[in-house]
Amino acid sequence: MKKIRIDKHPTKEKLEELDVKKWGTWECEPSTFPWEYDSTETCYILEGKAKVTAEEEEVEFGKGDLVVFPEGLKCEWQVIDKIRKYYRFN
């Protein structure tokens, strides 16, 4: 089973090391939609809140969280509060 990893409020140093401010940005209004990852995504949540449900896993995350979605993950996103994030695909 593919696991979603969440780093709750990573350090400023870690974010600088990852160079998140140079990643792309994405935002979405409250909504629900299916998604499948064809490569690993790492994202840093700038604002908002979402819940992602996969086969046997449900995670909730929001502002200040660093989240890693593994390649091959099939899930459903539920954007609870308008979300804005930095993201990159590996």
CATH number of residue 16's parent domain: 2.60.120.10
Return the percentage of the chain with pLDDT > 70, whole number: 99
**Domain enclosing residue 49, as ranges:** 5-89
pLDDT at 56 over 90: no
Q: Write down the mean pLDDT value for the chain.
A: 96
Average pLDDT over residues 67-83: 97
Work out how many domains the chain is built from and give that number.
1
Q: Is 77 exposed, middle or buried (0-12, 13-18, 19+ CB in 10 A)?
A: middle
pLDDT at 79 over 80: yes
Asked if residue 9 lies in contact with residue 64, where contact means CB atoms within 8 angstroms, the answer is yes
In this prediction, residue 86 has a pLDDT band, given cuts at 50, 70 and 90, of very high
pLDDT at 26 over 70: yes
